[in-house]
Amino acid sequence: MPTYGKGLRGLSILTFATITVALILVFFYVPLDATQGFIQKIFYIHVPLAIVSLCGFVFGGVLAVMHLRTGDRRYDMRSYVAIHMALIFGVAALVAGSIWAKASWGHWWVWNDPTLVSYLIILLMFATYMPFRFSIEDPERQARYASVFAILGGAFVPLNFIAVRAAQQYVHPRVLTLTGSNLPGPMLLTFLVSLLGIALLYITLWKYEMAAKNARIQLRALRRRLLGDDDLSPLQRSAAPSL
Amino acid sequence: MSLYAIAPALPLHAAGKYVAGAYIVFVLVILIYVTIMAIRLGRTERALVELGRDIARREEAGGDAPGAPAELDLEGEAAHLSGASRGPGDSPL
C-alpha cells in the first residue's frame, strides 16, 4: 500500500511559504486597482480558489477514469478525496465571491450572469456526489457508479467553461482570456503566486486526507490480522470508499 | 455596459471590512477542515491504543492472536509515531 505522508512535511512548508509570499504581495506590493480600489484584493483569493476547485473536479474525473480502467479501488479513494477537497475550495470561492459582489455590485448574488450561475450549477452537482455515494450500500457498486458520476461531472466542467466563454451577456469581468491576461505585470505576478499557493494548498490537503484515510484503513487491517474478524465491528454505511 | 464597469470604487474604510471578510472566510474554512482532521486523528490514535490493549489482554490470557507476530512491539511503534523516540531528522512523515 502506498504511503501518502511521504514528502508531506516539505510540501506543507512550501505551501505555507508560498501563501505567506502571496499575502505579502497582495497587501504590500501590488498597486490598488484604478476602478475597484482596495476591494479588488479579493480577486487574489477568490479567482485562484475557483480555478483550483474546478481543476480539482476535473482531477477527480481523471482519477475516476483510472479506477474504471484498472479496477483498483485506491483510485476511487483518490477521486473521492479530490472531489471532497474541490468542494471545500469551491464553497470558499463562492463565499469570497459573494462578499466581493456585495461590495462591488451591491448584491450578494446576481442571477443573470452565466459565470456565477454555471459555477453554482457545477458546485451543486458535485454536492450531490456524497449523498449519491451514501445511497448505494454495496461498496463495489458504489465505487463504480461514483466513478461514472465523477467522469461525467469532470467532463462537464470544461464544456461548461467553453459555453460560458461563448456568452455575450455577462456581469463578471473577463480578466483572463485564452490569448493572455488583461492584468498589468505586478498584478499578474501576484495572481500567479496566489494561484500557486492555493494549488499547493489543495495538493497538501489532498495528501493529508489520503494519509489519514490510509492510516485508518491500515489500522483496521492490522486489527483484523491480529485479532481476527470476530473482534471487528462491521463497517458502518458510509459515503467514503472502503478498501 | 456591464454592471462591474459602472460600480464605483469603495473608499478604503468601507472596502476594508469586505476584504477582511473574504480572507477570514478562507482561513476559517481551512481551520474548520484542520479541526475535523484533528478530531479524526484523535479517533485513530484511540483505536490504536485500544488495539494495543486488546493484544496485551490476549497475551495475558495466554492465547496467541491469530497471525500475530510474537515480537510485534505496538507500544514502541506508537511511541515512534508520536515522536517520543524520534531522533533528529527522523520524521514519521
Question: In A, which residues are within 8 Å of B21 by CB distance?
Answer: 99
Indicate the DSSP class of residue A72: -
Range of the domain at A151: 8-173+182-223
Contact at 8 Å (CB) between A49 and B26? yes
Q: Is residue A3 part of a domain?
A: no
Q: What sign results for the dihedral spanned by CA atoms B76, B77, B82, B85?
A: positive
Whether A41 is in a domain gets the answer yes
Nearest by CB to B10, from A39, A49, A99: name it: A39
Determine, yes or no, domain membership for A14: yes
Return the pLDDT at B89: 37
| Residues of chain B with C-beta less than 8 angstroms from the C-beta of A37 | 9-12, 15
Q: Confirm whether A111 is domain-assigned.
A: yes
What is the sign, positive or negative, of the torsion defined by CA atoms of A218, B55, B86, A20?
positive
Instruction: Output the pLDDT for position A137.
Output: 84
**Residues β-bridged to residue A37:** A33
Report pLDDT for B63. 57
DSSP A240: S
Is residue A60 packed enough to be buried (19+ CB in 10 Å), middle (13-18) or exposed (0-12)? buried
Q: Which residues of chain B have pLDDT under 70?
A: 1-13, 63-93
DSSP string, A82-120: HHHHHHHHHHHHHHHHHHHHHHHHS-S--TT-HHHHHHH
Test mutation, A222, A231, A238, chain B, max B CBs within 10 A: A222
- Contact of A38 with A61, CB cutoff 8 Å: no
Mutate to test the interface with B, among A6, A14, A36, A38 (most CBs of B within 10 A): A38
Chain A residues with CB under 8 Å of B55 CB are: 226-227
Taking phi first (over 0 means left), then psi (-120 to 50 degrees means alpha), and beta for anything else, what does residue A139 get? Answer: alpha
Q: How far apart are CA A45 and CA A23, in angstroms?
A: 9
| Cβ–Cβ gap B3/A171 under 8 Å | yes
Q: What pLDDT is attached to residue B1?
A: 43
Confirm whether A110 is domain-assigned: yes
Please tell me whether residue A239 adopts helix, strand or coil conformation. coil
| Separation CA B10–CA B7 (nearest Å) | 9
Report the domain count for chain A: 1
Which position has the grid cell 514519521?
B92
C-beta separation of A97 from A51 below 8 A: no
Q: Chain B contacts of A91, Cβ < 8 Å?
A: 29
Residue B87's Cβ-count burial label (10 Å; 0-12, 13-18, 19+) is exposed
Mean pLDDT by runs of 10 across the 243 residues of chain A is 79 94 91 83 92 95 94 91 94 92 86 86 93 87 93 90 73 64 83 95 93 88 76 66 70
Phi, psi of A33 (to 5 degrees): -70, 135
Q: Is residue A236 part of a domain?
A: no
Nearest CB among A104, A172, A219 relative to B44 is that of A219
Chain A interface test: which of B1, B2, B34, B80 (most A C-beta within 10 Å): B2
Q: In chain B, whose CA is at the least distance from the CA of A91? A: B29
In a domain, A231, yes or no: no
The angle subtended at Cα A199 by Cα A146 and Cα A13, nearest 5°, is 120
Residue B61 to chain A, least CA–CA distance (Å): 13
**Which residue of chain B comes nearest to A201, CA vs CA?**
B30
Compute φ and ψ for A44, nearest 5 degrees. -75, -10
A205 lies in some domain? yes
Write out the three cell numbers for A111: 442571477
pLDDT value for B84: 39
Least Cα separation, residue A17 to chain B (angstroms):
15
| 8 Å CB contact of B68 and A226 | yes
Contact A201, A45 (CB under 8 A): no
